[in-house]
Amino acid sequence: MKAFNERGWGAFSADNTVGALIQTKPAAMGAPTRGSNTGIDRIHLEWTPLTSPSDGYSSITSYSLEWDAGGGTLHSWDKLVGFASNYVQTSYLVTSGIVQG
């Protein structure tokens, strides 16, 4: 890569052979908790958003949420929100696929 400004083109920069330099690694988000709207036909999840410095000093652009729908295996996870489009809310209400008991 090289830069251009009012003085013209600069020299090419050296190849990066060590990878990306991360200034601050974001912390892991805490587990979601049961929200007050949970009932026999719905699951309401809430979580605490990451804020600085836990967010690595960068704005959160999306939370993604998935569940195993009671299957209990690693291969049956369903994507609920935050995969096809950004989701920055701090709660989610599951209303389909809920079986009482």
Within-domain flag for 84: yes
What Cα–Cα distance (Å) separates residue 18 from each residue in 13, 15, 22, 24, 98? 14, 9, 12, 17, 48
The answer to whether the pTM exceeds 0.85 is no
Tell me the average pLDDT across 13-20: 83
In terms of residue numbers, what domain contains 64? 26-101
Q: Which domain CATH number covers 40?
A: 2.60.40
Within-domain flag for 1: no
Within-domain flag for 41: yes
Task: Report the number of distinct structural domains present in the chain.
Answer: 1
* 18-43 pLDDT tens trace: 887 777 677 788 889 999 999 998 99
Within-domain flag for 70: yes
Query: Which residue matches tokens 């920069």?
Result: 13
Within-domain flag for 87: yes
